[in-house]
Amino acid sequence: MKLIACTEGHSGKIEAFSLEMIAAARSLTQADDEVVAFFAGRDAEGASACLGAADRLIVARSTRSDVIPAETYALLLRDVIIAESPGLVLVPYSANGLDVAADIAARTGWPLISYVNEIKRLGENLTIVAQMYGGKILAECEVRLPAVLMINPGAFAAAAPAPIAPVNVQTIDAEPVLTSGKVKMVAIDMPDYADVDLTTADRIVCVGRGIGDEASIDLARNLATMLGAEIAGSRPVVDNGWLPKLRQVGKSGQKVKPKLYLALGVSGAPEHLEGMSQADLIIAVNTDPKAPIFNVAHYGATCDLFDLVANLSDRLRAGSGR
Amino acid sequence: MNILVVLRMIPDSAGELQLAEDGRGIDREWLDFQLNDFDDHALEEAILLKEASGAKVTVVAVGEGANRVLQMAAARGADEVVALQSEEDAMISSREIAASIAAMARAKSVDLVLCGVQSTEDVFGQLAPYVGALLDWPHVSGTNRIVANGAVLRVTQERGAGVAVTYELATPAVLGVQTASKAPRYVSGSKLREASKTPIGRATPELSGFELTAEIITLRLPVQGGSGENLGGNAETVADRLVTILAAKGLARN
């Protein structure tokens, strides 16, 4: 059986989760199985230099663009699926993967399971553990091959980066599909870190939905100032316009690794944990003792966050006056 | 432009979730159901497009409490509201409802389908790409800005880490909304009361069109894997402990 591991990268950088997709595929191989990595974009050399843990690499190469619209990526991948007849396609849970996985599943008629954490292979069937309800429930699923799986970043340890032998690299021209595609890329905006770069911050105080309203963010901001920390927010806080986008931590925000991450009223959906679980010291405050944030926190408290912020601010203020 | 917005009512996962007796679902009896956050943003984006270009907005809602949320949609400016019948006490599978949404889009000569980028129940895949693929219409998810210029849409997509990509595509199209261009608007009580008279249409589900070759065998609660120290629930003692911990690590002072 062939297993296709979808990979991504742009601006000369292959995304780390690409090597996780290859490792996930490799963990399911049996005798004579083959792991085929698929990459679409301009950086064919970068992919060839990095994705050697796969047996083969198929590059849909663009001469123009780093970023391939998901629909074009899916059309290119569909051609590869037709040519290779794989038994399994693994797609990363990314902005691109969210669109690609269901598109491919619909166009092939194959089943799809999303947010996958664990996979076991039993002949022509897979048993899967997937996340639901923001990680509060795990679903044990069964799926018959061929199938598409969308894999959570971090669920599998990454394969080691290594070059792949040129003889095992097949290049196809993405330009005709890109040119005829219905979705045209017109601009890429890179972040402007003039205001704040959370990725370099040593200390972060992050507020989540539990902060309640915009006015209350000032309390957390004052605490952050006392700690020499940057204020940050989870997705609902930023979506509500209470903090700017560059201060969002998580899958669709910034991935941070500070020395201190104080999470106030953050539940810790998988998308959020992906952005901060590598912090050196995580302190979480949430009245829900089952909040997933406690699974990664080094210290956790279930008290009211406003009471805690007031008490902590008093103590820090008193300490600074000594 | 005719816009169809999909609203899904999902269990409030901020609260405690209990498993059903058969282990294949969650106990829904005492659960609060709320509008999927991302769908709320899809609705707002549709109303903003209506205000900018005079589009007609039809809203279809599915799940527990659909009528209530449809009245809210009417109060926010939806022109037509429809409840899609769904099985009671069952999760809303995006894969299962995709065919119904596609059929409705065709029947109503819709130019643009908007829904949230994801929901906490779509373990079998996301709605926007399914509907896009079924209709063979272009689709983009993770959008945070949509501008319509006639039949041409300019759509900005979040790619993570602050990177945003702008695409151009022609209608008809399907978009999965991450964030509306503006935060969802507040609706006053008087507007809600007025909207409560809005007639709610009924739609019956279409067969999914997808062969069921994946299924949930059982649900379980994750083992609380946190090996961290519990500092308790008293704010004063927690604050004392934190000051000590931060001081020991050299993190207590600016």
User: pTM for this structure?
Assistant: 0.86
Rounded to whole angstroms, the Cα distance separating B242 from A205 reads 14
Greater pLDDT, A199 or B172: B172
8 Å CB contact of B249 and A254: no
Q: Which residues, other chains included, contact B116 with Cβ-Cβ below 8 Å and sequence gap of 6+?
A: B6, B8, B36, B37, B38, B39, B40, B41, B42, B127, B176, B177
Task: Over range A111-130, report the average pLDDT.
Answer: 95
Q: How many CB atoms lie within 10 A of CB A65?
A: 18
Tens digit of pLDDT for each residue in A16-32? 899 999 999 999 999 99
Count CA atoms closer than 13 A to B197's CA, side-chain side.
Answer: 4
Give the separation between CA A3 and CA A229, rounded to whole angstroms. 45
At residue B160, what are phi and psi to the nearest 5 degrees?
A: 95, 155
Res B16: pLDDT:
78
Q: Please report where in the chains the tokens 């990725």 appear, as a residue.
A: A199
What's the pLDDT at B15? 73
3-state SS, residue B157? strand
- Token pair 């002072």 in the structure block, residue: B253
Interchain contact, A102 vs B238, CB within 8 Å: no
pLDDT per residue as tens digits for the range A237-288: 988 889 988 899 987 788 899 999 999 999 988 889 888 988 999 999 999 8
Q: Note whether A319 contacts B124, CB cutoff 8 Å.
A: no
Give the mean pLDDT of A90-98.
94
Of A95, A114, A131, the CB nearest to B157: A95
* Angstrom distances, CA of residue B127 to CA of A1, B47, B104, B164, B203: 29, 20, 14, 22, 18
Sort out which chain B residues have CB atoms less than 8 A from A304's CB and list them.
Answer: 235
ipTM of model: 0.90
* pLDDT band of A156, cuts 50, 70, 90: very high
Q: Quickly count: other Cβ atoms within 10 Å of residue A310's Cβ.
A: 16
pLDDT, tens digit (0-9, with 9 covering 90-100), for A32-55: 999 999 999 998 999 999 999 999
Q: What is the pLDDT of residue B32?
A: 87
- Tell me what the pLDDT averaged over chain A comes to: 92
CA angle B180, B158, A297 (to 5 degrees): 100
Are B217 and A145 a contacting pair, CB within 8 Å?
A: no
Burial of residue B203, with CB atoms counted within 10 A of its CB: 0-12 exposed, 13-18 middle, 19 or more buried: middle
Interface contact A303-B234, CB threshold 8 A: yes
- Which residues in chain B have Cβ-Cβ distances shorter than 8 Å to A253? 160-162
Residue B129 and residue A98: Cβ atoms within 8 Å? yes
- Taken in order A131, A127, A99, A255, the sign of the CA dihedral is positive
Partner residue facing A225 (CB), from B170, B246, B254: B254
In a structure prediction context, what are the per-residue pLDDT tens digits for chain B, which is 254 residues long?
999 999 999 998 777 788 888 888 888 888 889 999 999 999 999 999 999 989 999 999 999 999 999 999 999 999 999 999 988 778 889 999 999 999 999 999 999 999 999 999 999 999 999 999 999 999 999 999 999 999 999 999 988 777 889 999 999 999 999 989 988 999 999 999 999 999 999 999 988 777 777 899 999 988 766 678 999 889 999 999 999 999 999 987 66
- Residue pLDDT, tens place only, A290-315: 888 998 999 999 999 999 999 999 99
Q: Copy the structure tokens of residue B174.
A: 């399907």
pLDDT above 90 coverage of chain A, percent: 75
Q: Which of A54-58, A150-154, B100-104 has the lowest mean pLDDT?
A: A150-154
Buried-state track B76-112, b at ≥16 Cβ within 10 A, e below 16: bbbebbbbbebeeeebbbbbbbbbbbbbbbeebebbb
Q: Find the CB nearest A184 among B142, B169, B219.
A: B169
Backbone dihedral angles phi then psi of residue A162, each to the nearest 5 degrees: -160, 150
* Residues A256, A273 contacting (CB under 8 angstroms): no
pLDDT of residue B225: 63
Strands B163-170 and B152-160: antiparallel
pLDDT > 60? residue A118? yes
